[in-house]
Chains A and B, each alone.
Chain A
Amino acid sequence: MDDDLRLARAASEAALATEGVHALGTGRYAEAATYGPGEKVVGVVVNPNEVRVHIIARYPPPEPLPALAERIRERVAQRAQGRATTVVVEDVEVSPVANL
Chain B
Amino acid sequence: MRIFNKIVVVLLLAGLTALGVCLLVYALNIDPYRLEDLPRVLGLGVFYESLRGYIGVVENGNLDVLEIATLVLIAFVGLILLLLEFKPPTPRRVRMQRGTYITRSVVEKEANAAVEQEHEVLQSNVKVKAQRKPGAKVDITASVRPGEDARSVQSGVKNRVQDYMSETGIPVSNLKVQVREADPRQTETRVK
> Which residues from chain A sit less than 8 Å from chain B, CB to CB?
28, 61, 63-70, 73, 84-92
Contact = CB atoms under 8 A, between A and B. Distances in A.
B106 interface: yes
A65 B168 contact: yes
A93 B167 CA distance: 16
Interface residues of B, number: 17
Given A64-B168, A67-B169, A86 B110 contact: no
Contacts of B105: 28, 91
B101 interface: yes
Contact of A90 (B103, B167, B170): B103
Nearest to A85: B99
B90 to A, nearest CB: 15
Residue in B100, B101, B109 whose Cβ sees the most chain A Cβ within 10 Å: B100
Interface of B: 93, 96-97, 99-103, 105-106, 109-110, 167-171
A46 B110 CA distance: 29
Instruction: Decide if the interface of chain B is mainly helix, strand, loop or mixed.
Output: mixed
B101 A88 contact: yes
6 contacts: A86-B101, A87-B101, A88-B103, A89-B102, A90-B106, A92-B110
Contacts of B93: 88
Given A91-B105, A92-B109, A86 B169 contact: no
A53 to B, nearest CB: 10
Contacts of B110: 92
A85 B97 CA distance: 12
Contacts of A63: 169
Nearest to B134: A66
B96 A69 contact: yes
Contacts of A73: 99-100
Contacts of B109: 91-92
Nearest to A57: B106
B11 to A, nearest CB: 26
Nearest to B167: A64
B106 A92 contact: yes
Nearest to A87: B100
